[in-house]
Structure formats: C-alpha cells, structure tokens
C-alpha cells in the first residue's frame, strides 16, 4: 500500500502543470527531474516576432529599401523562402528582388545581374545581423 502525498501547504497555482507533476513524482516516488519544462508554443511565436523585427531593422540599415513599409514588405516576402536554418535562398532573393526593383526587366541584363547579386549579399548580411541581434 502506498502512502498518499502529503501537502505541506495550500497550492497557489503559481507553478506550471509540468512543475507540479514533477514535484509529485519527486515526493511520491523519490524520482528526480531529467528534463526541463517543455517550451510553450507562444515562445516560438515570440522568437519569430523578435527575429522579424531584427530582420526589418537590418534591412533598413543595409539600405536595400526606401523606408520602413518597404522593409516590412521585403521581410514578409522573404521570410517564407528562408531555408530550415534561417539562411537566404535563391527564392528569397527573387522575392525581395520583385519588391525592391519591380521594373528591373527593363534594365540591361548585366545591370540586373549585378544588382540582384548585391541584393543577395545584402540579404545574407541582414539575416546574419538579425540572427545575432535575436540571439
């Protein structure tokens, strides 16, 4: 027969369900915690928002765009095309290029290639800057 858990005081519900379960296991079974509390889905959302804000700031600092609204448009266009590690891809450069230079098809091909390459380099640096700022 097992003894019931002895409560030392009234619960104030300040601890999470995970912490409460761990405390009960530690008390009843003499166990110990081997993992940390699982992350909440809002943590990932908050991290993504902080990263996007840092990315917008980096795009503005890199002078790829003329203002904040255009920087937001570039980041929103680029974000879905980043790879799994959050790095720039060719599709991301294309998405940014369509916003930064919508009339680029009228430019000479050499100028288009140079500017597109420059945009890719600036995006890569802006992503690195955003990753550093968010971390």
**Each residue of 49-80: pLDDT tens digit?**
888 899 999 988 887 788 889 989 999 999 88
Query: Could you please report the per-residue DSSP string of the chain?
Result: -PPPPPP-S---S-S-HHHHHHHHHHHHH-----SPPPPPHHHHHHHHHHHHHHHHHHHHHTT-SSSHHHHHHHHHHHGGGS-TTS---HHHHHHHHHHH-TTGGGS-HHHHHHHHHHHHHHHHHHHHHHHHHH-
Q: Is the model's pLDDT at 92 over the cut of 80?
A: yes
Per cent of the chain over pLDDT 70 is 79
The whole-number pLDDT of residue 37 equals 61
Banded model confidence at residue 14, pLDDT cuts 50, 70, 90: low
């Amino acid at each position: 027969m097992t003894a019931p858990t002895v409560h030392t005081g009234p619960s104030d519900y300040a601890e999470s369900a995970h912490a409460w379960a761990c405390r009960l296991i530690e008390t009843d079974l003499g166990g110990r915690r081997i993992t940390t509390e699982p992350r909440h889905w809002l943590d990932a959302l908050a991290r993504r928002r902080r990263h996007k804000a840092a990315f917008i700031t980096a795009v503005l600092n890199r002078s790829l765009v003329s203002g904040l609204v255009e920087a937001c448009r570039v980041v929103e266009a680029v974000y879905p095309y980043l790879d799994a590690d959050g790095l720039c891809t060719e599709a991301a450069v294309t998405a940014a290029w369509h916003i930064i230079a919508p009339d680029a098809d009228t430019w000479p091909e050499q100028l288009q290639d140079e500017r597109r390459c420059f945009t890719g380099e600036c995006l890569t640096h802006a992503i690195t800057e955003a990753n550093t700022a968010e971390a």
